[in-house]
Amino acid sequence: MEMLLSSIAILSGFLLLIWSADRFVMGASGIALNFGVSPLVIGLTIVGFGTSAPEMIVSGVAAYEGTPNLAVGNALGSNITNIALVLGITALVTPLMVHSKILKREYPIMFMIMILAWGLLWDGELSPTDGYILILGMFALMVFITLMGLHEKKQLNEKDPLDEEFNEEIPRDMSTSAAFFWLLLGLIILLVSSRMLIWGAVNIAHAFHISDLVIGLTIVAIGTSLPELAASITSALKGEHEIAIGNIIGSNMFNLLGVLGIPAIMTGALFDLNITLDPSVLNRDYPVMMALSILLFVFAYGFKGKGRLNRLEGGVLLMCYMAYMLVIFQQSI
């Protein structure tokens, strides 16, 4: 009976996470637009932050529940899932073109963030100080990519493809009161659904003697990446390839900074402890995430012009994800 309830809690949690994350982003975007913020700025900050909201909330709840390694697994697993599963499936649906100079400048920043996070994790622990560094980095990132995008637009004196696509996607004609309502409702349901998801996932992990890290890398990571999958496929089918890939790059950067930073700070504040990492994090999961990021860079960057992620490359990414899941399964039994 408890297994059935846990499974229902996980499924319901996933569905509510997807719905509430979308409402949270819609409300935040509507508020920003009503206060005169440009669609490009909203897209680079609020939308990028919002797509990582499920991971961040789940991460905080996991730390509060005393399962910080689930939060770490969620951060790394979501990044691996975003690249290999989400972009792999999206590219199989329709090949992705990468035109935007903004995205090409964000990609090196993502690698810098990966190196920073790896350096902080290298000692096998994630301390509150590490968490504060990551959270400060997250806010610095939001400021930097906004300034970068605005400078690029002004310098070229033309619309970047990403700017045009965000302009079409940001909700308009929404009153400020309605936007605040959706923002608050989305946040509340994010918290409730995250609590349901963690409760169900931890129960199943304990029943099958699976580590919190593995649950975070697999079930929770896939579930919290569902908004990225839905957003990327929808954007790609509309021909908005910049948003499809931009969501993944932005989400991965926020995952490393926010989703890793939040549990580090909370675990220190609540339990006066550092997070002791499972050895697999540095020996298996982080190298896989970096290797997939490099592979995507080689596939999509476009060294001699416009970048492109075709169906064959999408299939390779998807096979890499399946192989990674197989390795985790074999090492867990």
Please state, rounded to an integer, the average pLDDT across all residues of the chain. Answer: 86
Q: Which residue has the higher pLDDT, 150 or 10?
A: 10
The pLDDT score that the predictor gives to residue 69 is 93
Each residue's pLDDT tens digit, 152-178: 656 655 555 555 555 665 666 788 899
The pLDDT score that the predictor gives to residue 328 is 94
Tallying the residues shown for the chain, one arrives at 333
The pLDDT score that the predictor gives to residue 289 is 97
Query: What share of the chain in percent tops pLDDT 70?
Result: 86
For the chain, give the secondary structure using H, E and C: CHHHHHHHHHHHHHHHHHHHHHHHHHHHHHHHHHCCCCHHHHHHHHHHHHHCHHHHHHHHHHHHCCCHHHHHHHHHHHHHHHHHHHHHHHHHHCCEEECCHHHHHHHHHHHHHHHHHHHHHCCCEECHHHHHHHHHHHHHHHHHHHHHHHHHHHHHCCCCHHHHHHHHHCCCCCCHHHHHHHHHHHHHHHHHHHHHHHHHHHHHHHHCCCCHHHHHHHHHHHHHCHHHHHHHHHHHHCCCHHHHHHHHHHHHHHHHHHHHHHHHHHHHHHHCCCEECCHHHHHHHHHHHHHHHHHHHHHHCCCCCCEEECHHHHHHHHHHHHHHHHHHHHHHC
Q: Which residue has the higher pLDDT, 84 or 225?
A: 84
Confidence (pTM): 0.87
Query: What share of the chain in percent tops pLDDT 90?
Result: 45
Q: Is the pLDDT of residue 128 over 80?
A: yes
The pLDDT score that the predictor gives to residue 23 is 86
Q: What are the domain boundaries of the chain? A: 39-167+209-332
**CA–CA separation, 53 vs 227, rounded Å?**
10
Contact 120, 253 (CB under 8 A): no
The pLDDT score that the predictor gives to residue 244 is 78
**Mean pLDDT to the nearest integer, 242-253:** 82
Each residue's pLDDT tens digit, 260-278: 999 999 999 998 999 999 9
**Mean pLDDT to the nearest integer, 92-96:** 92
**Mean pLDDT to the nearest integer, 73-83:** 95
The pLDDT score that the predictor gives to residue 301 is 76
Q: Is the pLDDT of residue 190 over 80?
A: yes
Q: Please give the class, per CATH, of domain 39-167+209-332.
A: mainly alpha
Out of 86-95, 146-155, 206-215, 238-247, the most confident range is 86-95
The pLDDT score that the predictor gives to residue 230 is 79
Place of tokens 């609590």: 195
The answer to which of 151-155, 204-208, 291-295, 321-325 has the lowest mean pLDDT is 151-155
Nearest to 102 by CA among 45, 56, 54, 31: 45
Q: Which residues contact 230 (CB under 8 A, 6 or more apart)?
A: 18
CA dihedral 117, 123, 128, 129 (to 10 degrees): -70
CA-based R_g, the chain, Å? 19
**CA–CA separation, 329 vs 333, rounded Å?**
7
pLDDT band at residue 68 using 50, 70 and 90 as cut-offs: very high
Q: Is the pLDDT of residue 208 over 70?
A: yes
The pLDDT score that the predictor gives to residue 156 is 53
**Mean pLDDT to the nearest integer, 101-113:** 81
Q: Is the pLDDT of residue 41 over 70?
A: no
**Mean pLDDT to the nearest integer, 282-301:** 93
The pLDDT score that the predictor gives to residue 172 is 66
**Mean pLDDT to the nearest integer, 41-51:** 68
Q: Is the pLDDT of residue 330 over 70?
A: yes
**CA–CA separation, 180 vs 158, rounded Å?**
32
Q: Which residue has the higher pLDDT, 59 or 36?
A: 59
